[in-house]
Chains A and B, each alone.
Chain A
Amino acid sequence: MMKKKRLIITPVRVETDFKLRRRGPSRSGAAAAPTYPLLENRPAPLQTGVEGEYMLALKRDLVEFLRDSPAFVVPAAAKADIERYSDRYQAALANRGAGELHMDWARLPQELRPAAGKRRRTSPSAAASKRAKKTVDISNRLDELEKKEEQQSDGEAEGAEDEEEDKEAEGEGEDLEEEDLDEEMDEGTDYINNYFDNGESYLDEDDDNLDDGPVY
């Protein structure tokens, strides 16, 4: 029963997908495991095919659509900070916030409505109004300019980005009259100064220097 050679032939090379895993001396203790270790096993290949590529296109389309839509809420102005902060957004910021969020304001709490009472209902059909916009474009444009002037004279954010923003700001006056709470909050927020200071980058705190990456 002893000393016998078990194997006569080896028809196939044994697939040893297993290598005895020595994980380096540091592994034994709770001591630092490397943050980016060399992988012992490679990931399985991604599935390829037209379906995946099509979904990829859809995914990108969605992001691009939203980024150019009023749903993409951008901080007003703060131009000085843009250089530092928004490598990643600069392009997007350029023509951001065009148009207004289509919404039936009655579905929102009153406090969220752009200008309480005034704009609760959009015109019979927003699509229609969109079309109609062309014809009244000039008068709108004038309105816009007017409001811009108004706002600038108020010394509010320079270069407010869009019509809606202006209207809101205008509407805000009403809100303040009605509701002290809002007033308090607005006063308590010196946002131009504070805004970019908060540490809540979407990455971890230590990710700040991401933006100081190589410059071409």
Chain B
Amino acid sequence: MTSNEKGGSIPNGEEASGSGSNVEHRIIALARSSTKGISDKDIQTEIPDLRPDQRASIINKLLAQGYFDLFNQGGTLLYKLKDPSRVQKVKGADNEEKIVYSIIEEAGNKGIWIRDIRYKSNLMPTQLNKILKILENKKLIKAVKSVSASKKKVYMLYNLEPDRSVTGGAWYCDQDFEAEFVDVLNQQCYRYLQQLQENTKDCKGGPIAARNISYASSKDVWKYISELGISRVQLSVEDMETILDTLLYDGKVERSISTDGTHLYRAIESLLPPPGIVRIPCGVCPSQSCHGMKEKCHNLERDSNLRLRVLRSGTLPLSYRDHLAKGLELSFHTGDSVIEYCP
């Protein structure tokens, strides 16, 4: 099983920002020095030890934060520092407003928490609140509820689409995680894959053909779910993979990667039934302090959903064992495992 590339994108981004803030500044400085923009090659010459993937992630981030405009010049991509004239928008505003605006602008589409603005701007809370109100009214900035902590608002420029880490993507309504929605999708996806698995029973083309029938790509599942119409939100194929991954961790499906790199999923059966230890109350009981049963553990007493025929206690007549043994033979031959003992 391979790790989920997509799932890893968010933390990777964070990692890059942690280790790369210096690099970011160097890239911005480089861009500032060139009016016609800089190319990947320029960055590479300037910072040779930067790996392409790191570079890509930093560039993406700077693009998202609105530092760069992207141009295509003769097949080469150029990053050009945005005209600082946007700051002109705040024209007519006082210095404090400008400072607050630039702090918020810097935060990009991930937004910034009011306390951090205060910390960076050194403004008094009342004053800051007033400025934020003004900027909001001018539709220069907006407040967005973040999913990472309830009741926590972050500010960002008005025209930005909030980052997934703020909205939580498709799985959040306001900042509430829609657990029920996820559960339903989880079940529907499983049902679909199970159905495919069922279909293999009629497959006459050999085991490999049968197995291939049971596979579905994330796109297949996405299509199925879209057609079911249980979601009014437009879900992406990536969203579907997120759900399918929960099934993977439920141990209900197996994921493999096809030759063209798409993810394939199929329903699987666990290798073992629930083990013996959890068929006795002690296996699901957190008690550390019980020793034996002197004080009568009520859990052991309670009838589980088991109907065990009452065996003779005391001396077991040999004939009874024989009787059972006959049943044993019977069950081996017919698969029928129920016999009743009537003395």
The listed residue (A6, A48, A56) touching B231 by CB distance below 8 A is A6
Q: How far is the CB of A171 from chain B (nearest CB, A)?
A: 34
B231 touches A1 (CB 8 A): no
**Nearest neighbor of B336 in chain A, beta-carbon distance:** A50
Chain A residues with CB under 8 A of B149: none
Contact B188 A6 (CB under 8 A): no
> How many angstroms from the CA of A11 to the CA of B298 in the assembled complex?
38
A33 and B313 CA atoms in complex are apart in Å by: 36
A3 CB → nearest B CB, Å: 7
Known: A6-B178, A11-B188. A203 touches B285 (CB 8 A): no
Is A57 touching B316 in the complex (CB atoms < 8 A)?
Answer: yes
Given the contacts A12-B184, A43-B283, A45-B304, A64 and B230 also touching, CB distance less than 8 Å: no
- Could you say which of B284, B289, B305, B339 contacts A39, with CB atoms under 8 Å apart? B284
B303–chain A nearest beta-carbon distance, Å: 11
Is the CB–CB distance between B287 and A36 below 8 Å?
yes
Q: Is A2 an interface residue (CB 8 A)?
A: yes
Residues of the B chain whose Cβ atoms lie less than 8 Å from the Cβ of A118:
none
Q: Do B232 and A57 have beta carbons less than 8 Å apart? A: no
Overall SS of chain B's interface: loop
Asked whether B74 is an interface residue with its Cβ less than 8 Å from the other chain, the reply is: no
> Which residue of the partner chain, among A7, A48, A61, A206, contacts B308 with CB atoms under 8 Å?
A48
Give B246-279 interface residues, CB cut-off 8 Å to A: 273-274, 278-279
Q: Which residues of B contact A39 (CB under 8 A)?
A: 281, 284-285, 299
Query: B324 near A53 (CB under 8 angstroms)?
Result: yes
CB atoms of B287 and A203 under 8 A apart: no
**Does B230 lie within 8 Å of A203, measured CB to CB?**
no
- Check B184 against A60 for contact (C-beta < 8 Å): no
Does residue A207 face the partner (Cβ distance < 8 Å to B)? yes
Question: Does A180 sit within 8 A of B, measured CB to CB?
Answer: no
Please indicate the chain A residues that have their CB under 8 angstroms from the CB of B167 in the complex: 1
- Which A residues are CB-close (under 8 A) to B324? 50, 53-54, 57
Question: Do B292 and A9 touch (CB < 8 A)?
Answer: no
Residues of A within 8 A of B53 (CB): none
Contact of A207 with B299 in the complex, beta carbons under 8 Å:
no
Q: Would you give the shortest CB distance from B166 to chain A, in whole angstroms?
A: 10
**B201 interface hit (Cβ, 8 Å):** no
Residue from B180, B188, B273 having most chain A Cβ neighbours under 10 A:
B180
Q: Are A64 and B321 in contact (CB under 8 A)?
A: no
Question: Cβ of B187 and Cβ of A12 under 8 Å apart?
Answer: yes
Residues of A within 8 A of B178 (CB): 6-7
Using Cβ atoms and an 8 Å threshold, which residues of chain A touch B313?
Answer: 60
* Identity of the chain B residue whose Cβ is nearest the Cβ of A32 in the assembled complex: B289
A80 at the binding interface (Cβ < 8 Å) = no
1/0 contact string of B157-200 vs chain A (CB within 8 Å): 00001100001001001100010110110011000000000000
**Which residue of A8, A41, A50 contacts B339 across the interface (Cβ within 8 Å)?**
A50
Considering the complex, give the chain B residue whose CB is closest to the CB of A55.
B324
Contact A57 B279 (CB under 8 A): no
Question: Does residue B92 face the partner (Cβ distance < 8 Å to A)?
Answer: no
Contacts A39-B284, A44-B274; is A5 near B232 (CB within 8 Å)? yes
Pair B284/A8 contact, Cβ less than 8 Å? no
Contacts of B292 in A (CB 8 A): 203-204, 207
Cross-chain contact B279 with A43 (CB below 8 angstroms) = yes
What chain B residues lie within 8 Å of A207 (beta carbons)?
292, 294
Asked whether A8 and B229 contact (CB < 8 A) given A47-B273, A47-B279, the answer is: yes
- Extra inter-chain contacts (10) besides given A6-B233, A43-B279, A64-B315, CB under 8 Å: A3-B174, A9-B229, A10-B184, A36-B295, A36-B297, A44-B279, A53-B324, A60-B313, A60-B316, A204-B291
5 nearest A-B pairs in the assembled complex, by CB-CB distance: A44-B274, A50-B327, A49-B337, A54-B324, A6-B181
B residues near A (Cβ < 8 Å) are 161-162, 167, 170, 173-174, 178, 180-181, 183-184, 187-188, 229-233, 273-274, 278-281, 283-292, 294-295, 297-299, 304-309, 311, 313, 315-316, 320-321, 324-325, 327-328, 330-331, 337-339
Residue numbers of A with Cβ under 8 A of B are 1-12, 14-16, 33-37, 39-51, 53-54, 56-58, 60-61, 64, 203-204, 206-207, 209-210
List 20 A-B pairs, Cβ < 8 Å: A1-B161, A2-B174, A6-B178, A6-B231, A7-B180, A15-B187, A33-B288, A34-B287, A35-B287, A39-B285, A43-B280, A44-B274, A45-B279, A45-B304, A47-B279, A48-B307, A48-B308, A54-B325, A54-B328, A64-B315
